[in-house]
Amino acid sequence: MSTTFIRRASGITALALAAVTVAGCASSTPTATPEAASDLEIGAVDLSGVCPATVVIQTDWNPQAEQGGLFNLVGEDAQIDAATKRVSGPLVSSGEWTGVDVEIRAGGPAIGFTGVPAQMYTDPDILLGWVKTDEAIANSAERPTTAVMSTFEKAPWIVMWDPETYPEVDEIADLADTDATVRYFDGTTYMDYLIGSGQLRADQVDGSYDGTPANFIAAGGADAQQGFATVEPWVYENAIEGWMKPVDYQLVADTGYPIYAVALSVRTADVTEQAECLSALIPVVQQATVDYFADPEAANALLVDAVTAYDNGWVYPAEEAANSTTQQQELALAANGADGTFGSFDSARVDSVMEIVEPIMADKGVATADDLTADDLATNEFLDSSIALP
């Protein structure tokens, strides 16, 4: 059983937005590797001798600002392949070519909603993929992955509700004392946690959520719903006709479910087999992400252009991207680890996630790896400890 949390919510609710025209510099010519790369001069970081000629990164959804650090790796003359839903270009470090190219692949509908670990084991060209801690645990027996850089210090998932209907609700657990139905995507592991920990009642949750706002609006504020802190609050207040007002929410991360969301991960064997590449590459990704938050406009323009070119029903205007970038910082979703390094993992925290998730997987009949440890799931080995958000 897959435990992948399919992120249709933000995509379908965004369909309520009017399409916008976004100016950008990227080409939509389908091509896997930019021809210009061979003419570039390699800068201070040279990955050409240790990494694949094209570093392939598999994301879990369509382009959006949560992927801003990855899109900040792409140099000038980026190529958008609308057919395969991929963006490629010279892989740059602080604006200088590193001697290799990068390819960022969309997930979700682009790969038939296949989980990222499964996609990584299907396609050996993929070096890095976005994998959640609970997803890594669920796949640990058959498709083991090891996280090598944390993307989010806090996961962006939320449960949201109408503050006018429930003025007494300050957190998710307060919903248990109401008659609210809480809609979510069936198979979402954190919902099993919320029920098991007594923060929600089993008789009030509804796993039939399809990602559209229709039922939330039709309920007139009586129902609660899952979402993303970087998406739904802005979309519902600014773009969902029939609502157009604020919602309240709590981060699931603040309920005692401390997973690392969409951590940049490799197949576990590649921790050893690609160690030389990862030692040189991961600090580049760290710095690119830190640089993104200092100046997000170019990366956001590229990813918005990619969404427009893909034309698969996902609508993502520049305003939503800008809001996401802001919320990632203001809510401390993108933040330094406990040790002060951007992208680091706390092994005790990974242990606590295992204590929560392994029994849930056992109840679902999902076999996890024997003697699984935090070191199997995440490593700080390839990080540059001096790189941090200001």
Does residue 68 fall inside a structural domain? yes
Q: Calculate the alpha carbon distances from 276 to 64, 124, 270, 279, 384 in Å.
A: 30, 18, 10, 5, 14
Does the pLDDT of residue 27 top 90, yes or no? no
Please check whether residues 162 and 54 belong to one and the same domain. Answer: no
Does residue 390 fall inside a structural domain? no
Please check whether residues 60 and 142 belong to one and the same domain. Answer: yes
The pTM of the full predicted model, rounded to 2 decimals, is 0.90
pLDDT tens for residues 325-355? 999 999 999 999 999 999 999 999 999 999 9
Average pLDDT value for residue range 46-62: 97
DSSP letters spanning 79-133? EEETTTTEEEEEEEETTEEEEEEEEEE--GGGGTT--HHHHHHH-TTEEEEEE-H
Does residue 4 fall inside a structural domain? no
Q: Which amino acid, residue 361? A: M
Cα separation, 344 vs 295, in Å, equals 22
Total structural domains in the chain?
A: 2
Does the pLDDT of residue 286 top 50, yes or no? yes
- The range of the structural domain enclosing residue 249 comes to 157-255
pLDDT at res. 131: 98
Domain-ending residue, one of 208, 230, 255 = 255
Does the pLDDT of residue 13 top 70, yes or no? no
Q: How far is CA 342 from the centre of its chain?
A: 16
Does residue 364 fall inside a structural domain? yes
C-alpha closest to that of 136 among 154, 111, 153, 118: 118
| CATH code of the domain containing 237 | 3.40.190.10
Residue-wise burial string across 102-112, b where 16 or more C-beta atoms lie within 10 A, e elsewhere: bbbbbbbbbbe
Residue 79's beta-bridge partner residues?
27, 88
What is the chain's alpha carbon radius of gyration, rounded to the nearest angstrom?
A: 20
Does residue 383 fall inside a structural domain? no
Does residue 5 fall inside a structural domain? no
Domain-ending residue, one of 223, 255, 287 = 255
